[in-house]
Amino acid sequence: MVTLSEENYLKAIYHLALRNDEKVSTNAIAQKMQTKASSATDMIKKLSEKGLVDYQKYKGVNLTEKGRLSAVSVIRKHRLWEVFLVDKLSFNWDEVHEVAEQLEHIKSEKLTQQLDAFLNYPTKDPHGDPIPDPSGNMPSTEKVLLAKIENHKHCICIGVKDSSAEFLQYLDKHNIALGTEITIVSKESFDESMTLKINKTPLVISKEVSHNLFVKIN
């Protein structure tokens, strides 16, 4: 039995660990959960005892397969309910999140199955995020080069094409990491340079950078 709170933590860890093997820090979890680091530590221990995460003190956590399945199941329900709200109950796409945050915790295998069928087995939620299948497979989000993103869009860094030390150090220096949110402020067509905004800080990058960074739109 996974409690509501535990489900929310698992979901947070899932979203923070963009690559599956990546370790997630206590602070990152606390921030995402809008709580204090000490509370996060308490919960991490609980999840660890239940075999939902791998945990070593001071080293961060990893979802176990059991934990990943639990997180993905919640995300599946969340996204199915979002489709329901928009398609059947004429909600706007910006009104569905907080209601889906509640509905995602309803426990009934049959409910989820029947809802999926009723909605005609959708593959994406109203925001374009993929809906995991019943056995927990998350359709992989297509990687896109930052260079392809349109002006004014938001995206999230999910990988690199050039993984040289030089490039990685450049990214570190400018606070770009896996999971960093990037906004495209403007694009120069003559040299393909771009102005980004990273955590409210502007950054001008060359085409060498934008052609070597994978992002996903969200």
Give, as ranges, the residues between 57 and 116 that touch DNA (CB under 7 A): 57-60
98: left (phi over 0), alpha (psi -120 to 50) or beta: alpha
Give, as ranges, the residues between 124 and 183 that touch DNA (CB under 7 A): none
SS3 labels along 32-53: HCCCCHHHHHHHHHHHHHCCCE
Rounded Cα–Cα distance for residues 52 and 60 (Å):
14
**Window of 35-43, 52-60, 100-108, 149-157 that interacts with its own copies by CB under 8 A:** 100-108
Residue 168 interacting partner from its own copies, DNA, none (CB closer than 5 to 8 Å by kind): none
Binding of residue 102 to its own copies (CB under 8 A): yes
Question: Beta strands 60-63 and 181-187: pairing type?
Answer: unpaired
CB of 170 to DNA, least distance (A): 16
Structure tokens at 167: 């490039």
Rounded Cα–Cα distance for residues 64 and 94 (Å):
32
- Hey, is 161 helix, strand or coil? coil
Binding of residue 108 to its own copies (CB under 8 A): yes
CB of 24 to DNA, least distance (A): 9
Binding of residue 200 to DNA (CB under 7 A): no
**Window of 84-92, 124-132, 156-164, 189-197 that interacts with its own copies by CB under 8 A:** 84-92
CB of 98 to DNA, least distance (A): 16
CA dihedral 63, 40, 215, 132 (to 10 degrees): 50
Q: Which of 81, 56, 70 is nearest to 3 (CA)?
A: 70
Residue 183 interacting partner from DNA, its own copies, none (CB closer than 5 to 8 Å by kind): none
**Window of 9-17, 34-42, 88-96, 127-135 that interacts with its own copies by CB under 8 A:** 88-96
Q: Which residues bind its own copies (CB under 8 A)?
A: 85, 88-91, 95, 98-99, 102-103, 106-108, 110-111, 114-115, 118
